[in-house]
Amino acid sequence: MIITTTPSVDGKKIASYLGVITGEAIVGVNIFRDLFASIRDIVGGRTQSYERVLDEARQLAQKDLTDRAAELGADAVVGVDIDYEVLGQGNGMLMVSISGTAVTFG
């Protein structure tokens, strides 16, 4: 499955547009991870724990998008956009939403 932020795929002709599809993932952020991330921020280091959570959420959302595209018989998803949002009381949840257009090639 080709997933791209561009509106087309080089060398491929889009035969049909199957519609806009989305993939979402919502993950919780651990309070202990928050504490250690704050300490790293104070000393100027990168917060790898947050980076891992962010990467995990993005991968889950992309898999959700790919699964939906496959259900439609798509060859690719074009025009993909990824959005990140912090949710919940105390910003304890992270949502990643990916959307794009499922297409087939001719």
**What H or E segment, with its residue span, contains residue 31?**
helix 31-43
Q: State residue 60's pLDDT score.
A: 95
∠ Cα 91 26 61 (to 5°): 140
E-assigned strand segments in 1-106: 2-3, 14-28, 76-87, 93-105
pLDDT at 9: 97
**What pLDDT, in 10s, does the model give residues 57-101?**
999 999 999 999 999 999 999 999 999 988 866 667 889 999 999
How confident is the model over 8-63, as pLDDT tens digits?
A: 999 999 999 999 999 999 987 664 455 555 555 555 555 666 777 788 899 999 99
Band of residue 2 on the pLDDT scale cut at 50, 70, 90 = very high
